Amino acid sequence: MSDITSHASHERTASATGAVLSQNRPDLSCSAGYDHEPKSNTPVQISVRGLKKNYQRGSNVIPVLRGVDLDIREGEFVAIVGQSGCGKSTLLHILGTLDQPDAGEIVFSDQRIDNLAARKRDRLRNNTFGLIFQFYHLLPELNAEGNVLLPLMIGQGFFGYLSKRWAFRRRAAELLEKVHLSHRRKHKPRELSGGEMQRVAIARALVNGPQVLLADEPTGNLDRAAGQEIFEILRNLNATENLTIVMVTHDEKLAEQADRTVRLVEGRIE
Amino acid sequence: MYKLVLCWRYLQTRYIALASVISVTLGVATLIVVNSVMSGFTHEMQFRIHGILSDIVFDGHGLEGFADSQWHMQRIRQIAGDDIQAMTPTVHVPAMLNYRVGQRWVHRQVNFIGIDPATYSLVSDCADYLQHPKNRDAPSFQLRDGGYDVQDRELGEESPYRHGMEMAGWPHRRRIGAEEKAWVAAQKKNNPQLAVPERVGRADPFSGIATPLRAAESEAGVVQQWGPVSEDQVYDKATQQETGVIIGYALAQVLGREGDHYFLVLPGDDVKLTFPTAGTPPKAVSGSFTVVDFYQSKMSEYDSAFVFAPIEKLQEMRGMINPSTGVANVNSIQVKLREGADIEAVRDKLRAAFPPELYAISTWRDKQGPLLAAVQMETAILNILLFLIIAVAGFGILAIFFMIVVEKTKDIGILKSLGASGGGVMAIFLSYGLLLGSVGSGAGLVLGLLFVNNIDHVRRSVEWISGQPVFDPSIYYFQEIPTLVDPQMIVWVIMGAMAIAVIASVLPALRAARLHPVEALRYE
């Protein structure tokens, strides 16, 4: 069942993505593989300097990041590639303030974010960064709409949410429409295919209007077609909403389609 | 908002957690049932005790009592006049009740009380407990002409039948009088030499036992000086009665095989009472009395001990009347206060006015202090034990919550990656605990109240299943298990149960709050 629906939705999405694109950016081509526009003229949004991170395994200290320096400009689509265990995901987690570095600093919009208080980092994750994961990470208890609404529920107080819930629902419906999942609004994650779940996750990441989208191997668990489709959505978002996207992947073909590819080898940028 | 949504969803999807609150439910239900039954018993008992005893009992020490009850009552009225509604003097004396069943004599130790029926019924509900409708309206020591209750009037149709009560009173007395007369006549005819005393009805049970003490009493003429029938008159049992006494129901009643009530003595029968005189040293006097009614307060302690007689008769027989002044002694004065009066305050006022070496002044509560305290202590201990059961249930919740936190590790990581704070995640599990606690104790409340409301159905079905009587009305004298639901108690029980559920969820919630988001996300 899920195979059939995912297959069907792939076809639908392939054409629908084009439709969305043509509405928003009529000057862009509908085909996969955009023209690379190097965004070298926009200001630097995220600046990483001398980032180090070690993991403790028993008595052994395993260095994961050994001094990463990286600048990401506003509206840039950066792909981070590297072998398994080279620290790509750790770097992304630290960028997304899920983890803290042992040394070095991260400056986001002229503000250091790696040493912020827990509360401020929570706020940042809630409304400035959007995160997407390889395993989708949807809450099984909530349906697609509930999962998309979750960051809003977290960000708003009880009464704040209640008073604006109709606006929020409209926003969630719009986003689900955007990822072509309007028909799956009331479905639980277990009733969705992998590609559909990832699209719900993208809608969830976008619901609070983030400035940066951090994607940790968003296509790693999908077949090529579904993965390409997810990538198209990301590419489209980058293009239409000028959203900064940092994507970790080990798929070289996808990485090539990004604005810039950063190669991480043994904890350092190559 | 997400906290509420998620803990609501968890409640809907995690049935194992609901299983963990079943013990909370049972604990709350049991607490409610036990407390309701215990306070029902306490309330019923207090009600009955208070009905039997007057508000304040003014006692002189010893059997001899104190003189001039009129003066004492005036004095009491002077001291606490506003609060006093009625007073009555009484004479109390330990006594032996003797009656004949077939060829044997049965002896019972009783508390023999001399009362003034007109004023005594003003201070206590004693008249309500009598078995003849007319006696309930106006208690009297005259034997009634039948019409005694053949079933318990409070319990009605279902209560056990009282065999013999349908003919109690004068019909019964006439029958036994005629039988005895016929027996005497037959004895005389068969054996003309045998001197059968004319007054069979008053035959002294102890006449055959020649003891020195007995002889001395007879010489002093104490024993034979009283009685409604003078010596020279011929006493006809079928038409005449001795001084009336009201005896406790349990003194006369025995249970039949079917649970019916049979009686060793019926209203209309004569009984003997032996009790000490007021002099020093006290001597035993015996007298013949006619049972005129039963006293059934349904407090077995009283029903198996109280025997009431007219106070003048007792004073006379015990030699409590001063021959020169004609002023009689009494043992105590029963005081009834008006509604709403502060019993303890009046007691303390009276205690201040009367020397304690001469008078013991106590409230009905003081008199029953040990009994009420024992019930209270039982309730307290049961409450502690049952709360321990809920505490044990708390550990069940703790264990299951830990499991749920482990199972939800990834979800916790997701929530944190979406910006949920540690406090927010903690709040999810705390409110989940609170929600489970409220569901558990709510179900317990419903269950407990249903149980209390249908406690007699439950009792009957348990008895039917087990074949064992769970609650024997003849022991407790309550046909139904008394219950009293105290809203305050329910609030406490439910608050306690919810507090335990929340406390049990604190540790798992803390663990959830402290989970590192990256570790949690990686958790498989």
In tens, the pLDDT along B416-431 reads: 988 888 888 899 889 8
Return the pLDDT at B194. Answer: 62
**Range with lowest mean pLDDT among B108-112, B178-182, B305-309:** B178-182
Asked whether the beta carbons of A247 and A235 are under 8 A apart, the reply is no
Residue of A nearest to B428 (CA): A154
> Closest partner residue to B2 among A123, A131, A153, by Cβ?
A153
Comparing CB atoms, the residue among A141, A155, A204 nearest residue B13 is A141
Confidence at B204, pLDDT banded by 50, 70, 90:
very low
CA geometry: angle at B488 spanning B487 and B490, to 5°? 65
To the nearest whole Å, the CA of A210 is away from the closest chain B CA by: 11
Residue A155 in contact with partner chain B when CB distance is under 8 A: yes
Shortest Cα distance, chain A CAs vs residue B512, angstroms: 16
Q: Is ipTM beyond 0.95?
A: no
What's the Cα-to-Cα distance from B126 to each of B73, B139, B295, rounded to whole Å?
A: 21, 9, 8
B13 touches chain A (CB under 8 A): yes
Instruction: Note the Cα B219 to chain centre separation in Å.
Output: 45
The answer to whether residue A151 neighbours chain B at the CB level (below 8 Å) is yes
- Write down the residue that tokens 């983890």 correspond to: A99
Instruction: Say which of B411, B418, B521 has its CB closest to residue A125.
Output: B418
- Residue bearing tokens 């009783």: B110
For residue B1, the chain A residues in CB contact (below 8 A) are 153, 156-158, 161-162
Residue B42, pLDDT above cutoff 70? yes
Cα angle, residue B180 at apex, residues B177 and B184 outer, rounded to 5°:
140
User: What residues does B233 pair with on adjacent strands?
Assistant: none
Q: What is the DSSP code (8-state) at residue B129?
A: G
Residue B11: the pLDDT is 79
Check pLDDT > 80 for residue A165: yes
Q: Which of B11, B414, B418 to mutate to test the interface with A (most CBs of A within 10 A)?
A: B418
User: Does A138 reach chain B within 8 Å, measured CB to CB?
Assistant: yes
Q: B425 to chain A nearest CA, in Å?
A: 10
Across the interface, whether the CB atoms of A161 and B517 are under 8 A apart is answered no
Give the distance from residue A158's alpha carbon to the nearest chain B alpha carbon, in angstroms.
5
Q: Which residues are CB-contacts of B239 (< 8 A; sequence separation ≥ 6)?
A: B174, B177
A188/B contact by beta carbon, under 8 A: no
B6–chain A Cβ distance below 8 A for any pair? yes
Q: Which of the residues B8, B417, B426 would you substitute to probe the A interface, choosing the one with the greatest number of A C-beta atoms within 10 Å? A: B417
Beta bridge partners of B308: B113, B246
B520: DSSP letter: H
Q: Which residues of A touch B5 (CB under 8 A)?
A: 142, 146, 153
User: How many Cβ pairs within 8 Å bridge chains A and B?
Assistant: 72
Res B94: pLDDT: 92
**Mean pLDDT value of segment B107-114:** 91
Check: pTM over 0.80? Answer yes or no: no
- Among 3.40.50.300, 3.30.300.30, 3.90.600.10, 1.10.10.410, name the CATH number for the domain at A2-39+75-101+118-269: 3.40.50.300
B15 CA: distance to closest CA in chain A (Å): 14
Contact residues, chain A, for B411 at CB < 8 Å: 139-140
CB–CB of B92/B331 below 8 Å?
A: yes
Asked if B2 lies within 8 A of A150 by C-beta distance, the reply is yes
Asked if the Cβ–Cβ distance from A98 to B5 is below 8 Å, we say no
Classify residue B138 by burial, with Cβ atoms within 10 Å: 0-12, 13-18, 19+.
Answer: exposed
Give the pLDDT of residue B51. 77
| pLDDT one-digit tens code per residue, A49-89 | 988 998 888 888 888 888 889 899 888 999 999 888 788 88
The per-residue pLDDT for range B459-481, each reduced to its tens digit, is 888 888 888 877 766 666 566 78
Contact of A46 with A95, CB cutoff 8 Å = yes
Q: Which of B511, B493, B510 is nearest to B31 (CA)?
A: B493
Distance between A15 CA and the closest CA of chain B, angstroms: 31
Q: Please state the rounded mean pLDDT for residues B448-461.
A: 89
Q: Are A151 and B419 within 8 A, CB to CB?
A: yes
Q: B22 Cβ partners below 8 Å, 6+ apart?
A: B440
Residues of B with Cβ-Cβ distance to A137 under 8 angstroms: 410, 413-414, 417, 521
What is the mean predicted confidence (pLDDT) over B509-514? 90
Out of B9, B411, B417, the one facing A98 most closely (by C-beta) is B417
Site of tokens 């999810």: B428
C-alpha to C-alpha distance for B14 and A140, rounded to whole angstroms: 12
Q: Which residue of B has its CA nearest to A130?
A: B418
Instruction: List CB contacts (< 8 A) between B513 and chain A.
Output: none
**Residue of chain A minimizing CA distance to B408:** A139
DSSP chain A: -HHHHHHHHHHHHHHHHHHHHHHH-TTS-SSSSPPP----SSPEEEEEEEEEEEEEETTEEEEEEEEEEEEEETT-EEEEE--TTSSHHHHHHHHTTSS--SEEEEEETTEE-TT--HHHHHHHHHHTEEEE-TT----TTS-HHHHHHHHHHHHS-HHHHHHTHHHHHHHHHHHHHHTT-GGGTT--GGGS-HHHHHHHHHHHHHTT--SEEEEESTTTTS-HHHHHHHHHHHHHHHHHH--EEEEE-S-HHHHHTSSEEEEEETTEE-
Which chain A residues touch B415 with a CB distance below 8 Å? 139, 150, 154
Cβ–Cβ under 8 Å, residues B306 and B110 = yes
Residue B107: CA count within 13 A, CB half-sphere: 8
Nearest residue in A to B7, CA atom: A141
Of B13, B411, B419, the CB nearest to A154: B419
Q: How many angstroms away from the CA of B435 is the closest CA of chain A?
A: 17
Of B240, B13, B224, nearest in space to A143 by CA: B13
Residue range B237-246: average pLDDT?
85
**Residues B50-80: pLDDT tens digits?**
877 888 888 888 788 888 888 888 888 888 8
CB B274 within 8 A of CB B96: yes
Better-scored residue on pLDDT, B259 or B233? B259
Q: How many residues does chain B have?
A: 524
Return mean pLDDT, chain B: 82
- Taking the Cβ of residue A98 and every Cβ of chain B, the question of whether any pair is shorter than 8 Å is answered with yes
Q: How far is the C-alpha of B116 from the C-alpha of B136, rounded, in Å?
A: 15
For residue B400, the one-letter residue type is I
Residue A137, min C-alpha distance to chain B (Å): 6
Is the pLDDT at B165 greater than 80, yes or no? yes
Domain boundaries, chain A: 2-39+75-101+118-269
Q: Is the CB of B6 less than 8 angstroms away from the CB of A151? A: no
